[in-house]
Amino acid sequence: MTLLTKKPLLIRLSTYLFNNEAKRTESRNFQTATCVLRHVNPTNVKNKSLSSQLWLKRQLSDPYVEKAKMHNYRCRSAFKLLEINEKYKFLKPGQIVVDCGAAPGSWTQVAVKEVNSIGQSSSDQLGKVFSIDKQHIYPIEGATILGNMDFTNPSTQTLLRTTLGDRQVQVVLSDMAPTATGIREMDTENMLTLCYNVIRFAVQVSEINGSLLVKLWQCGQAKKLETEISRFYRNVKFVKPNSSRHDSAEIFILGRYFKGLEK
Ligand X SMILES: C[S@@+](CC[C@H](N)C(=O)[O-])C[C@H]1O[C@@H](n2cnc3c(N)ncnc32)[C@H](O)[C@@H]1O
The catalytic position among 48, 87, 215, 224 is 215
Residue 100 C-beta: closest distance to ligand X, Å: 6
Phi-psi bin for 182: left (phi > 0), alpha (psi -120 to 50), beta? left
Of the residues 7, 38, 40, 150, which one makes contact with ligand X according to CB under 6 A: 150
Whether 237 sits among the annotated catalytic residues: the reply is: no
Q: Does 142 bind ligand X (CB under 6 A)?
A: no
| Single residue of 82, 91, 97, 102 touching ligand X by CB under 6 A | 102
Nearer to ligand X, 26 or 189 (CB): 189
For residue 137, give the amino acid letter.
Answer: I
> Is the CB of 108 or the CB of 206 nearer to ligand X?
108
CA nearest to 160, candidates 107, 98, 91, 96: 98
Give residues 35-94 in contact with ligand X (rule: CB under 6 A). Answer: 74-75, 77-78
Residues in CB range of 203: below 8 A, 6 or more apart: 232, 258, 261
* 239 binds ligand X per the rule CB under 6 A: no
Q: What minimum distance in Å lies between the beta carbon of 152 and ligand X?
A: 5
Tell whether residue 106 is a contact of ligand X (CB under 6 A).
yes
Decide whether 16 or 138 has the Cβ nearer to ligand X. 138
126 touches ligand X by CB under 6 A? no
Which of 104, 230, 242, 257 contacts ligand X by CB under 6 A? 104
Instruction: By CB under 6 A, name the one of 103, 195, 214, 229 that touches ligand X.
Output: 103
By CB under 6 A, is residue 178 in contact with ligand X?
A: yes
Contact residue for ligand X among 64, 91, 95, 175 (CB under 6 A): 175
The set of residues, in sequence order, having a beta carbon less than 8 Å from that of 242 and lying 6+ positions away, is: 32, 33, 34, 83
Q: Using CA atoms in the order 48, 53, 55, 61, what is the torsion angle rounded to 10 degrees?
A: 140
To the nearest whole angstrom, how small is the minimum distance from the Cβ of residue 135 to ligand X?
4
Nearest to 55 by CA among 66, 45, 67, 68: 45
Q: Could you give phi then psi for residue 226, rounded to 5 degrees? A: -60, -45
* Sequence letter at residue 216: L
Taking CA atoms, 249 is separated from 94, 143, 184, 192, in Å, by 33, 29, 12, 14
Among 84, 97, 105, 213, binds ligand X (CB under 6 A): 105
CB-CB contact of 178 with 217 (8 Å): no
Please give the residues from 152 up to 171 whose contact with ligand X meets the rule CB under 6 A.
152
Full DSSP string of 113-125:
HHHTTTS-SS-S-
Q: Are 108 and 129 in contact (CB under 8 A)?
A: yes
Q: Which is nearer to ligand X, 78 or 96 (CB)?
A: 78
Judged by CB under 6 A, the residue of 57, 58, 113, 134 near ligand X is 134
> 6: which residues sit within 8 A by CB, 6+ positions away?
none
Q: Does 151 bind ligand X (CB under 6 A)?
A: yes
Alpha-carbon distance of 158 to 173, in angstroms, equals 18
Q: Which residues bind ligand X (CB under 6 A)?
A: 74-75, 77-78, 101-107, 132-135, 150-152, 175-178, 194
Which residues are annotated as catalytic?
Answer: 215
